[in-house]
């Protein structure tokens, strides 16, 4: 069946609607929004074009393999024939395309080495594009003349194409951007970086800084040459020689949209059966300062030991072979674990991995890690607690210190006294300005409105996240460090009890809701998690009191939420139901607060609500959340349910009605995506790999 009419049941190959290409952080973040890499220009995760272009010239004939020559509906020269795209393969750190014609095969690989066991490497704003051209037929005795051209437009260095850029070249390659102009002066969601410098580095290639001024000619800025010949060969002919190093910066005569100037690289080879053409182009971004943290401009984590951008970029280029090997080894390691649950689960995690990490920026301030998320395509908040909470399974598995980094700013914010409420905050600002919460701010009187806060949600999230950190690290030190604030939040949950008032939860798109049963679970487990942490600290009497309260509330919860064959969405709505995803921590942390029959009853009921693209979030609408669906898989060892959720999610990714980086909020009758995309919450999909609470595959 089609995307419009329902679920596709015969697909054999994973085909997500958007494919990651260059993924370093929320700003250097480019995807393919097309089935074939040459169908459209690559785009920033927001959908705004950040064009990459790729051409191969063989024996005098040009072929395209990436992007389009058409910008703003104006063709600069005739679109050449395309190499045929044969396949695209996505692994956690790489996306690999294969292209062919009758003579040669081109392998094109995009690698973002986001390895969580090496934070300096992970935090580098660097991605690699590797290519290999080989002759297909072993009986072909000819030596073919092959040239490979790759570029990236200056669109990737501006928020909007009416902004101006400058260009330069140095020992590491060529670059463009706006320098410190407007650096860290504004925030928002649908925004791209418009300060700093976009770099292209390509060892042993010829560099080009190209611009079209009259829509018909290409200008080689650094040679002073101007050619009115529109043929692509003449474009290459205006290239900067491999020995040319330019130090000056030149202000262009027009905005980006008036010529779409690009950073390009070109290399020629002789290719035969015995000789392959191999090369690498490195795309990187010097954002100078990355985040504004309570009034101070802060640098990316990789700078912590005083390394300059030029030094970092040279090290990245010189060491890329070793990095690619490490990335490939990690891909195989993760694949082996994910395959326990099948190829489709492996596909889902491979797509999610780069997305969730690159939705963050890592810095260090006052000796503390700060791993700031951007709440993408929602409201652009930075350090959002209820975005952290669903994302943590990936980081608990590979680097729990990064979970500390996600919430350190929350503790700092509350500790300064700037936060006015007794419960936990929602966030610390709007990306990239972490200067205090603006979500729910009444700008007329500059006061945060309590109506827009999430009291039980964020208190529960913080307590459960801290308990998970301590379990992953095998130490209660982090909880003890923040004991005073955590006690305040636990006591708030005790006062609220098992029946929250009319307030928002993390699923705030559904609006305020009173007597929310799933939210109540989070509050009760937050109390129990604090009891467990106090017990680990040796404060057994206090721990016993909190444990007793949590168990008392759990008994009341079960009595009031039970509706015969399931448990309700709200205590006062008998016919309602919802996914009880918050229950996972009762099992994962070994709290044993709720009767285990609750989870089994819920899973059996969810199976009766399964739609073509998954189980709805609750009885109000047919939409779901991918992270919460996967969390419910861990509630019981029900193989039928696990397979159904994974299969439906895999199909949803492939059938989504619009092109976007892995939306986490979509409908289940038809795969219609709501606004969320490119969000770190997909880190929650890794929860099956935690193996906490004796969770394992039973296949």
Tens-place pLDDT, residues 420-476: 999 999 999 999 999 999 999 988 888 999 999 999 999 999 999 999 999 999 999
Is the pLDDT at 8 greater than 90, yes or no?
A: no
Q: What's the distance, Cα to Cα, between the start and end of the chain in Å? A: 29
How many residues are listed for the chain in this entry?
699
* The pair of three-digit structure tokens given for residue 248, joined into one six-digit string: 């000056």
**41-50: average pLDDT:** 97
Confidence of residue 220 (pLDDT cuts 50, 70, 90): very low
Is the pLDDT at 230 greater than 70, yes or no?
A: no
Confidence of residue 252 (pLDDT cuts 50, 70, 90): low
Q: What predicted TM-score, i.e. pTM, was given to this entire model?
A: 0.93
Is the pLDDT at 34 greater than 70, yes or no?
A: yes
Specify the pLDDT at position 259: 79
Specify the pLDDT at position 274: 95
Specify the pLDDT at position 694: 59
Q: What is the average pLDDT score of the chain?
A: 91
Share of the chain above pLDDT 70, in %: 90
Are the beta carbons of 417 and 439 closer than 8 angstroms? Answer: no
pLDDT digits (tens, 9 = 90+) for 82-128: 999 999 999 999 999 999 999 999 999 999 999 999 999 999 999 99
Share of the chain above pLDDT 90, in %: 83
Is the pLDDT at 698 greater than 50, yes or no?
A: no
Specify the pLDDT at position 219: 33
Is the pLDDT at 595 greater than 80, yes or no?
A: yes
Phi-psi region of 478 (alpha: psi -120 to 50; beta: other; left: phi over 0): alpha
Specify the pLDDT at position 72: 41
Strand 368-373, strand 360-365: pairing: antiparallel
Phi, psi values for residue 444, rounded to 5°: -70, -35
Specify the pLDDT at position 691: 86
Task: Enumerate the H helices of 230-342 as residue ranges.
Answer: 232-237, 309-318, 320-338
pLDDT digits (tens, 9 = 90+) for 58-95: 998 889 999 986 544 344 445 688 999 999 999 999 99
Is the pLDDT at 232 greater than 70, yes or no?
A: no
Specify the pLDDT at position 216: 31
pLDDT digits (tens, 9 = 90+) for 149-192: 999 999 999 999 999 998 888 889 999 999 999 999 999 999 99
Confidence of residue 6 (pLDDT cuts 50, 70, 90): very low
**327-349: average pLDDT:** 98
Question: Which residues fall within 8 angstroms of residue 690, CB to CB, at 6 or more apart?
Answer: 393, 396, 397, 588
Question: Which residues fall within 8 angstroms of residue 694, CB to CB, at 6 or more apart?
Answer: none
**551-557: average pLDDT:** 97
* The pair of three-digit structure tokens given for residue 20, joined into one six-digit string: 């990651």
Specify the pLDDT at position 677: 96
Is the pLDDT at 697 greater than 80, yes or no?
A: no
Are the beta carbons of 460 and 522 closer than 8 angstroms? Answer: yes
CA distance 112 to 123: 11
Are the beta carbons of 119 and 362 closer than 8 angstroms? Answer: yes
The domains of the chain, with CATH numbers, are 19-327 (2.70.98), 366-694 (1.50.10.10)
Write out the DSSP string of 575-599. T--B--GGGHHHHHTT---S-HHHH
Is the pLDDT at 640 greater than 60, yes or no?
A: yes
Is the pLDDT at 560 greater than 70, yes or no?
A: yes
Specify the pLDDT at position 170: 86
**329-334: average pLDDT:** 98
> For residue 293, how many other CB atoms are within 10 A of its CB?
24
Write out the DSSP string of 68-79. -SEETTEESSPP
Least confident interval from 52-56, 224-228, 330-334: 224-228
Specify the pLDDT at position 212: 54
**248-276: average pLDDT:** 82
Is the pLDDT at 10 greater than 80, yes or no?
A: no
Confidence of residue 251 (pLDDT cuts 50, 70, 90): low
Is the pLDDT at 226 greater than 70, yes or no?
A: no
> Which of the residue ranges 10-14, 69-73, 492-496 has the most confident prediction, judged by mean pLDDT?
492-496
């Amino acid at each position: 069946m089609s995307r419009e009419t329902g679920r596709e049941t015969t697909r054999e190959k994973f085909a997500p609607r958007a494919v990651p290409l260059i993924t370093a952080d929320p700003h250097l973040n480019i995807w393919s929004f097309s089935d074939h890499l040459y169908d459209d220009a690559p785009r920033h995760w927001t959908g705004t074009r950040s064009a990459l272009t790729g051409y191969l010239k063989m024996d005098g004939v040009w072929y395209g393999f990436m992007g389009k020559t058409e910008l703003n509906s104006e063709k600069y020269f005739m679109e050449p024939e395309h190499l045929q795209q044969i396949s695209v393969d996505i692994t956690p750190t790489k996306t690999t395309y294969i292209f062919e014609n009758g003579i040669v095969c081109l392998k094109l690989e995009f690698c973002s080495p986001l390895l969580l066991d090496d934070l300096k490497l992970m935090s580098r704003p660097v991605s690699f594009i590797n290519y290999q051209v080989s002759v297909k037929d072993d009986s072909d005795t000819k030596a073919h003349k092959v040239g490979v051209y790759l570029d990236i437009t200056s669109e990737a260095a501006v928020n909007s194409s009416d902004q101006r850029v400058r260009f330069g070249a140095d020992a590491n390659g060529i670059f463009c951007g706006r320098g410190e102009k407007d650096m860290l002066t504004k925030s928002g969601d649908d925004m791209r970086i418009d300060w700093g410098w976009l770099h292209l580095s390509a060892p042993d290639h010829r560099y080009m800084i190209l611009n079209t001024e009259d829509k018909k000619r290409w200008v080689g800025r650094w040679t002073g040459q101007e050619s009115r010949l529109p043929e692509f060969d003449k474009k290459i002919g205006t290239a900067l020689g491999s020995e040319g190093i330019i130090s000056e910066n030149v202000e262009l005569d027009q905005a980006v949209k008036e010529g779409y100037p690009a950073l390009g690289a070109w290399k020629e080879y002789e290719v035969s059966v015995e000789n392959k053409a191999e090369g690498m182009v490195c795309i990187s971004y010097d954002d100078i300062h990355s985040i504004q943290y309570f009034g101070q401009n802060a640098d990316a984590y990789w700078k912590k030991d005083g390394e300059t951008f030029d030094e970092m970029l040279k090290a990245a280029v010189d060491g890329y072979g070793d990095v690619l090997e490490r990335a490939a080894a990690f891909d195989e390691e993760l694949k082996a674990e994910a395959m326990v649950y099948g190829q489709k689960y492996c596909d889902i995690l491979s797509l999610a991995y780069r997305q969730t990490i690159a939705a963050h920026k890592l810095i260090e301030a006052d000796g503390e890690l700060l791993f700031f998320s951007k709440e993408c395509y929602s409201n652009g908040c930075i350090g959002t607690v209820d975005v952290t909470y669903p994302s943590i399974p990936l980081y608990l598995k590979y680097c729990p210190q990064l979970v500390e980094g996600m919430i350190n700013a929350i503790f700092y914010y509350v500790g300064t006294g700037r936060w006015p409420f007794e419960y936990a905050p929602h966030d610390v600002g709007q990306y990239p300005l972490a200067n205090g919460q603006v979500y729910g701010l009444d700008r007329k009187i500059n006061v945060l409105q309590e109506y827009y806060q999430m009291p039980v949600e964020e208190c529960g999230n913080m307590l459960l996240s801290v308990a998970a950190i301590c379990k992953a690290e095998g130490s209660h030190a982090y909880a003890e460090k923040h004991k005073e604030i955590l006690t305040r939040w636990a006591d708030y949950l005790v006062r609220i009890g098992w029946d929250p008032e009319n307030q928002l939860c993390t699923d705030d798109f559904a609006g305020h809701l009173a007597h929310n049963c799933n939210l109540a679970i989070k509050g009760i487990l937050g109390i129990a998690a604090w009891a467990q942490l106090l017990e680990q600290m040796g404060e057994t009497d206090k721990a016993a009191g909190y444990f007793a309260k949590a168990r008392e509330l759990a008994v009341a919860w079960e009595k009031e939420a039970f509706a015969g064959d399931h448990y309700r969405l709200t205590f006062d709505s008998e016919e309602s139901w919802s996914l009880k995803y918050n229950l996972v921590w009762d099992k994962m942390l070994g709290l044993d607060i709720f009767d285990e029959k609750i989870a089994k009853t819920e899973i059996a009921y969810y199976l009766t609500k399964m739609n073509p693209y998954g189980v709805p979030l609750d009885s109000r609408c047919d939409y779901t959340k991918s992270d919460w669906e996967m969390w419910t898989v861990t509630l019981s060892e029900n193989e039928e349910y696990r397979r159904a959720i994974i299969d439906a999610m895999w199909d949803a990714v492939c059938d989504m009605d619009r092109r976007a980086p892995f939306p986490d909020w979509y409908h289940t009758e038809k795969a219609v995506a709501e606004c969320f995309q490119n969000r770190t919450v997909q880190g929650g999909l890794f929860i099956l790999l935690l193996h906490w609470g004796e969770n394992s595959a039973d296949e």
